[in-house]
Amino acid sequence: QVQLVESGGGLVQPGGSLRLSCVASGSFSIYYMGWYRQTPGKQRDLVAGITRDGSTNYADSVKGRFTISRDNDKNTVYLQMNSLKPEDTAVYYCNIISALNNYWGQGTQVTVSS
């Protein structure tokens, strides 16, 4: 059994911060961890990704504001979100790629509003 448990979403005011976590339980090796987000009627877009050796990439819209990190021993990926904007409002999904499979979390709602 492989399960991804996401946490850290919620309601925050513009300019505020949130930290998302995704813990992958089960026995498998993780090659890639990433965060995607999706709003109604739109595609699920990459926000940030990180490889096992620490290489990262970010969507242009979040560069300088979001930081992705991981703990390989704990099979956990984090997304630190600072200077949040209303445009960041979305459901955020954790994505983990192992040797054979691609796993998705169920999503966590992030709402940025006054």
Is the pLDDT confidence value at 53 over 70? yes
Q: pLDDT, tens digit, for every residue of 30-46?
A: 889 999 999 989 999 99
Rounded Cα distance between 27 and 86, Å, is 38
Q: pLDDT, tens digit, for every residue of 65-102?
A: 999 999 888 889 999 999 999 999 999 999 999 888 89
Confidence of residue 61 (pLDDT cuts 50, 70, 90): very high
The reported pLDDT for the residue numbered 1 is 67
Mean pLDDT, the chain, whole residue set: 93
